[in-house]
Amino acid sequence: MSPRWLLVGAMGAETLPLLRRLAHPRPLGARLLSGQLGGQPVVVLTAGVGPEKAHRRCLDALARVQPDRVLSFGTCGALVDGLDTGAVRGVQELLEGGRPLARLEPWPGVATVPLTTEARACWTRDRRMALAATGAWVVEMEAAAVWRASQQHQPGLPVQALKVVSDQAGAQAADPMADPERPDPLTLARFQARALDLVDRLLLPALIAGLGQG
User: If pLDDT is split at 50, 70 and 90, which confidence band does 13 have?
Assistant: very high
Residue 56 included in any domain = yes
pLDDT value at residue 1: 45
Residue 105: burial class (beta carbons within 10 Å; 0-12, 13-18, 19+): middle
Query: From CA 149, how far away is CA 162, in angstroms rounded?
Result: 17
β pairing state of 69-78 and 115-117: unpaired
In a domain? residue 159: yes
Residue type, 114: P
pLDDT bracket for residue 170 (50, 70, 90): confident
17 within domain boundaries:
yes
- Among 86, 76, 164, 87, which residue's Cα sits nearest to residue 122? 76
* Within-domain flag for 213: no
Number of separate helices (H) and strands (E) present in the chain = 6, 11
Mean pLDDT of 112-122: 93
- Asked if the structure places residue 170 within a domain, the reply is yes
Domain region containing 91: 5-206
Q: How many domains does the chain have?
A: 1
Look at 151 and 122; give whichever has higher pLDDT: 151
Angle of CA points 129, 132, 127, to nearest 5° = 35
What's 111's domain CATH number? Answer: 3.40.50.1580
% of residues, the chain, pLDDT over 70: 92
pLDDT at res. 174: 47
- Residue 88 phi, psi (nearest 5): -100, 130
Torsion of Cα atoms, 48 then 53 then 55 then 56, to 10°: -120
Q: Strands, DSSP E only, in 57-143?
A: 69-78, 88-90, 93-96, 99-103, 115-117, 138-140
Residue 90 maps to a domain: yes
**How do residues 187-208 score in pLDDT, each as one tens digit?**
778 888 999 999 999 999 999 9
Query: What is the pTM (predicted TM-score) of this model?
Result: 0.93
At residue 120 the predicted structure's pLDDT band, cuts being 50, 70 and 90, is: confident
Asked if residue 126 has pLDDT above 80, the reply is: yes
pLDDT at site 188 = 75
DSSP-derived letter for residue 112 is B
Is residue 28 over pLDDT 60?
yes
